[in-house]
């Protein structure tokens, strides 16, 4: 089965802080499935490293209010294109991210407070019928 995966979970250096944080639980899926790594923020044109953002009032903003919503939407639709090209029906995405988070995301106050909601890419994939799990679901 082909699965879209947040590239940072597979050790690709695309996180906002430029750190590599490989999730070995996700990497082992490659033994049985075809993993397609994507980073919607890079696909939307954001650099690495970059300042952190959160979703506030439906917009993707840095702490000082700089708005990157358009790039996040662009990246989300690029991921959807990749999913459609490969007939992908499943995704494993990084929890809590303003792009990839599913079910819980940070609340826009930059205080590490989680609220119910989805990142921009997770929302668009979900709307298009792709079943989403996070790395936490797979741990459980
Ligand atoms: Fe990882 Fe998604 Fe953030 Fe890219 S946008 S670094 S894939 S969580």
Position 10 scores a pLDDT of: 98
Nearest residue (by CA) to ligand 1, atom 3, is: 15
Instruction: List the Cα angle 11/133/89 in 5-degree steps.
Output: 100
CA of 75 to the centre of ligand 1 (A): 10
Closest ligand 1 atom to residue 6 Cα is: 7
- The token pair at 77 is 């639709």
SS3 130: coil
Which pLDDT tens digits describe the chain residue by residue (140 residues)?
999 999 999 999 999 999 999 999 999 999 999 999 999 999 999 999 999 999 999 999 999 999 999 999 999 999 999 999 999 999 999 999 999 999 999 999 999 999 999 999 999 999 999 999 999 999 87
């Amino acid at each position: 089965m082909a699965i879209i995966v947040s590239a940072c979970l597979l050790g690709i250096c695309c996180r906002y802080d430029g750190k590599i944080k490989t999730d070995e639980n996700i990497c082992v899926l490659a033994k049985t499935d075809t993993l397609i790594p994507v980073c919607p923020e890079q696909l939307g044109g954001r650099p690495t490293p970059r300042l952190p953002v959160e979703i506030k009032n439906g917009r993707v903003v840095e702490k000082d209010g700089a708005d990157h919503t358009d790039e996040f939407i662009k990246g989300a639709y690029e991921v959807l294109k990749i999913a459609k090209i490969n007939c992908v029906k499943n995704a494993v995405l990084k929890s809590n991210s303003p792009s990839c988070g599913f079910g819980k995301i940070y609340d826009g106050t930059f205080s590490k407070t989680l609220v119910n909601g989805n990142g921009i890419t997770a929302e668009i994939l979900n709307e298009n019928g792709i079943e989403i799990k996070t790395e936490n679901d797979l741990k459980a």
